[in-house]
Structure 1
Amino acid sequence: MPSERQGPPTVRLRRLAFELRRLRDTAGLTQQQVAEQTGINTATLYRHETARSRPQRRTLIALLNLYGATEQQRTDLLALSREADAQGWLRPYHAELPEQYTAYISFEAEARSVRNYESLFIPGLLQTEDYTRAVIRGGLPMASQKEVEQRVQARMERQNLLTTDNPLRLWAIVDEAALHRLVGGAEVMRQQMNRLISAASEPHVTVQVIAYAAGAHAGMQGSFVLMDFPNPADPEIIHIDSMAGDLFLETQPDVRRYSLLFDNLRAIALSPDDSTRLIASVATGAQ
């Protein structure tokens, strides 16, 4: 039976796919040539190279033989394949969430650090439960109460990543507009501002605000998240959430472009201390 993936891609499965693409490119072979020489059809090869499925052991060995992989590469990639389906902390009810959201959850759970820019919302990892519920209800007006609560629960569970013994490192940049948008009412916003101030005091969390006075800036095009992982062999990943759906990017040009964009936003944003003072002033006004 084929070892088809039964859930969102993991970091390990993504790394395996990346290495298979790299080895094929190094061997100077097209997918069609690989199919002709191994009997693996191009559709299956495409799924293996895009982390949509994990190759069976005999298929992986056939590919490694064709690509002339070294003994160390064979050992590493066979071990990687055995672990490729291991999920992070996905819960049973996550099967009812959209696949792209569970993919995001899986990647985030294995990340070492997250850089998040938000133009309209408070970053999900720093939201209060009431703010989250108001955001989801407003953004998904056709969702049932059960669907809303599942998403709220998932977002609250994600925040546990910030309170472990080895917490996720978070650098969050928020446009000032997100602080003033009255989501859920004045009391919800006051609590949310206090939550931001509290989070910003943690050594592994940095919060910056791009003030209105900064004028037009590159982040006005939309929000994005960059994640990197403990193992340097795991490519960084970019997540973009839009009305057209979720998009994951991992090519070096994309990673470089968004890293530079984040650095630009970090430079024009208020310092962490000045950002905290601005958030505190908004909290006072929300009372």
Structure 2
Amino acid sequence: MLPRQSPTVRRRRLALTLRQLRDSAGLTAGDAARRVDHDASWLSRIESAEVRPHPNDVRALLSLYGVKDDQAEAVIAVARQAKQRGWWQRYSEILPDWFSTYVGMESEASVIRTYECQMVPGLLQTEDYARTSFQGAPIPMRDDELQRQVALRLERQSVLSSSEPPVLRVVIDEGAVRRMVGGPAVMKAQIGRLIEDSQRSNIQILMLPYAVGAGFDGSFVILNFPPLPAPYPDAAEDQMVYVDTLTGALYLERPAEIAAYSAAYEQLQALSLGPKETRDKLSKVAADLAT
């Protein structure tokens, strides 16, 4: 069993696998669906991860595609895992569907690369910084909703201390740590948290300084997911780009899209200060706040 299993990731992986197996079998979605007593729209929703298929339906599809024995059982096991509830569903009353998907993906990512141009990344925020950022959000929220949002953000951070935590690589614009969120005391504590976290073996924090000139005007996250173990028939590592918006999000999966954002991240990383230089700069910013 993999640690930090996410039903969101399982549902997406199952959808990709079933589509690949159908293509390999030379069947259209309509043909395959009819041969297991369903219509084409049913299979299309499964292959786009819109619905979670029953394990018995998955078994029927695998038989049709010629997948047998241990490989078939491995896929069916993933189908069962995809129907479980994620820990974040406790927050369903304040968690929109578009962000619920991201939290599910983040929970099982093996590598998280993020660029932030305005704010400290959520996985590295202190409680006071998170609360202040929600208070200043463009869309107002009730006090009870705000407290739940803060609790969710802090619980997301537990992934960094799990038995097999992801590698977190962050490029943060200098403006994000100089932006006065909550006042000097809140920012000093937040910068101290960044300095402390940057010394953890699975976390790298780099600062993009003002001195490089124009940076990149949009934040984004690149998620890598670990391959499922054999005998699962699709053992490839997977990637996705997440781009946040005011009322939703973009989930980019095409190779060209992932390549473009990966290249942008590498360029931003190359322009940034190194890990030690970043800590030194953060210490200077914190000292400036004290005066």
Query: Partner residue of 1:265?
Result: 268
Query: Partner residue of 2:49?
Result: 51
State the secondary structure of the residue aligned to 2:200. Answer: coil
Once the two structures are TM-superposed, the CA of residue 36 in structure 1 deviates from its matched residue by: 4.1
Is contact 1:10-1:86 (8 Å) kept? no
**Cα separation, 1, equivalents of 2:259 and 2:124:** 26
* 1:22-101 matches, cutoff 5 A: 22-90=20-88, 92-101=90-99
State the secondary structure of the residue aligned to 1:286. Answer: helix
Count of residue correspondences: 278
Matched, 1:230 2:211: no
Q: Which of 156, 160, 163 is equivalent to 1:162?
A: 160
Once the two structures are TM-superposed, the CA of residue 120 in structure 1 deviates from its matched residue by: 0.6
Query: Partner residue of 1:151?
Result: 149
Gaps of 5+ in 2: 1-5, 229-234
Query: Partner residue of 1:251?
Result: 254
* 1:109-188 matches, cutoff 5 A: 109-188=107-186
Query: Partner residue of 2:231?
Result: none
For 2:252, the aligned partner's letter is L
Once the two structures are TM-superposed, the CA of residue 87 in structure 1 deviates from its matched residue by: 4.3
- Deviations 1:121-150 (Å, cap 9, x if unpaired)? 101111111111111111244211111111
CA RMSD of aligned residues (A): 2.1
For 2:73, the aligned partner's letter is T
Once the two structures are TM-superposed, the CA of residue 95 in structure 1 deviates from its matched residue by: 4.4
Once the two structures are TM-superposed, the CA of residue 24 in structure 1 deviates from its matched residue by: 2.0
**Cα separation, 1, equivalents of 2:22 and 2:52:** 16
Matched, 1:282 2:285: yes
**Cα separation, 1, equivalents of 2:178 and 2:191:** 10
- State the identity as a percent: 37
**Cα separation, 1, equivalents of 2:170 and 2:189:** 18
Query: Partner residue of 1:3?
Result: none
Gaps of 5+ in 1: 1-7
Once the two structures are TM-superposed, the CA of residue 202 in structure 1 deviates from its matched residue by: 1.3
Is contact 2:206-2:278 (8 Å) kept? yes
**Cα separation, 2, equivalents of 1:39 and 1:282:** 64
Normalising by structure 1, what TM-score?
A: 0.88
Query: Partner residue of 1:16?
Result: 14
**Cα separation, 2, equivalents of 1:96 and 1:137:** 15
Normalising by structure 2, what TM-score?
A: 0.87
For 1:275, the aligned partner's letter is T
